[in-house]
C-alpha cells in the first residue's frame, strides 16, 4: 500500500499523519476483505472497533485542536468537518452490506488524502510556533491495532 507522508511535515503533525496511515490501512483491509469475499459481518465488526478505538477520537482531536488554527469559517475546515459528519453517520449505520463498507472505504480514503495533501499543508503554513508546540503536547497518539485477532485481510 502506498502512503508517503510529506517530507517537511512538522513534528506536531506527524503523529496525526501516522494515524492517517492507520486509517488508510483500514480502507485497504476493508477492500481486501471484500475482494476475498470474507463475510461482511467480520469486516463490519473490525470497522466498528477501529472507529470507536481510533477514528472517533482522531476526528474529535482534529476538530478541537487542529482546525481552530484556520478557524471554523475556513472553507477547507468546513469541508473536513462535513466529511467527518458524513463518516460518523456511515460508521454508525447498523448495516454490513458490501455497498456500505465500500462507501466507508472510499470516503475515508478520500478524506484522509484531502487532509494530507491540502489541509495539513495549509495548517502547517499558517500555525504559529506556539500553536504547533501546544498541539504536540496535547495530542496523544492513538496506538496501532495489533490486538485485533480476526485478521480477515491476510
Ligand atoms: Fe479528519
Ligand atoms: Fe485526519
CA of 7 to the centre of ligand 2 (A): 17
CA of 112 to the centre of ligand 1 (A): 6
Please give the Cα distance from 91 to 18 (Å, whole number): 21
Are residues 8 and 120 in contact, defined by beta-carbon separation less than 8 angstroms? no
**Among candidate residues 30, 119, 31, the one with its CA nearest the CA of residue 75:** 119
CA of 93 to the centre of ligand 2 (A): 21
Per-residue pLDDT tens digits for 5-40? 565 788 889 989 999 999 999 999 999 999 999 999
Q: Which three cell numbers stand for residue 124?
A: 502547517
Q: How high is the pLDDT of residue 3?
A: 59
CA of 142 to the centre of ligand 1 (A): 14
CA of 6 to the centre of ligand 1 (A): 17
Per-residue pLDDT tens digits for 83-108? 999 999 999 999 999 999 999 999 99
| Ligand approaching nearest to the C-alpha of 88 | 1
CA of 15 to the centre of ligand 1 (A): 13
Q: Which three cell numbers stand for residue 70?
A: 484556520
pLDDT-derived band of residue 122, with 50, 70 and 90 as boundaries? very high
Q: How high is the pLDDT of residue 49?
A: 95
Q: How high is the pLDDT of residue 5?
A: 59
Least confident of 6-10, 45-49, 78-82: 6-10
CA of 38 to the centre of ligand 2 (A): 28
| Ligand approaching nearest to the C-alpha of 17 | 2
Pairwise pLDDT comparison (7 vs 118), residue with the higher score: 118
CA of 41 to the centre of ligand 2 (A): 26
Q: How high is the pLDDT of residue 41?
A: 98
Domains of the chain: 11-138 (1.20.120)
Q: For the CA atoms of the chain, what is the radius of gyration? A: 16
CA of 40 to the centre of ligand 1 (A): 25
Q: Residue 112: is its pLDDT beyond 90?
A: yes
Three-class DSSP labels, the chain: CCCCCCCCCCHHHHHHHHHHHHHHHHHHHHHHHHHCCCCHHHHHHHHHHHHHHHHHHHHHHHHHHHHHHCCCCCHHHHHHHHHHHHHHHHHHCCCCCHHHHHHHHHHHHHHHHHHHHHHHHHHHHHCCHHHHHHHHHHCCCCCCCCCCCCCCCC
Please give the Cα distance from 24 to 82 (Å, whole number): 19
Amino acid at each position: 500500500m502506498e502512503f508517503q507522508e510529506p517530507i517537511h511535515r512538522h513534528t506536531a503533525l506527524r503523529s496525526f499523519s501516522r494515524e492517517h496511515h492507520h486509517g488508510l490501512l483500514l480502507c485497504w483491509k476493508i477492500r481486501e476483505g471484500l475482494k476475498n469475499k470474507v463475510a461482511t459481518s467480520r469486516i463490519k465488526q473490525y470497522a466498528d472497533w477501529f472507529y470507536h478505538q481510533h477514528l472517533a477520537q482522531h476526528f474529535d482531536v482534529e476538530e478541537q485542536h487542529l482546525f481552530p488554527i484556520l478557524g471554523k469559517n475556513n472553507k477547507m475546515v468546513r469541508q473536513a468537518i462535513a466529511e467527518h459528519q458524513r463518516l460518523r453517520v456511515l460508521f454508525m449505520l447498523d448495516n454490513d452490506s458490501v455497498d456500505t463498507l465500500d462507501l466507508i472505504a472510499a470516503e475515508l480514503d478520500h478524506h484522509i488524502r484531502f487532509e494530507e495533501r491540502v489541509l495539513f499543508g495549509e495548517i502547517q503554513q499558517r500555525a504559529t510556533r506556539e500553536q504547533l508546540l501546544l498541539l504536540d503536547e496535547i495530542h496523544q497518539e492513538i496506538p496501532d491495532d495489533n490486538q485485533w485477532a480476526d485478521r480477515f485481510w491476510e
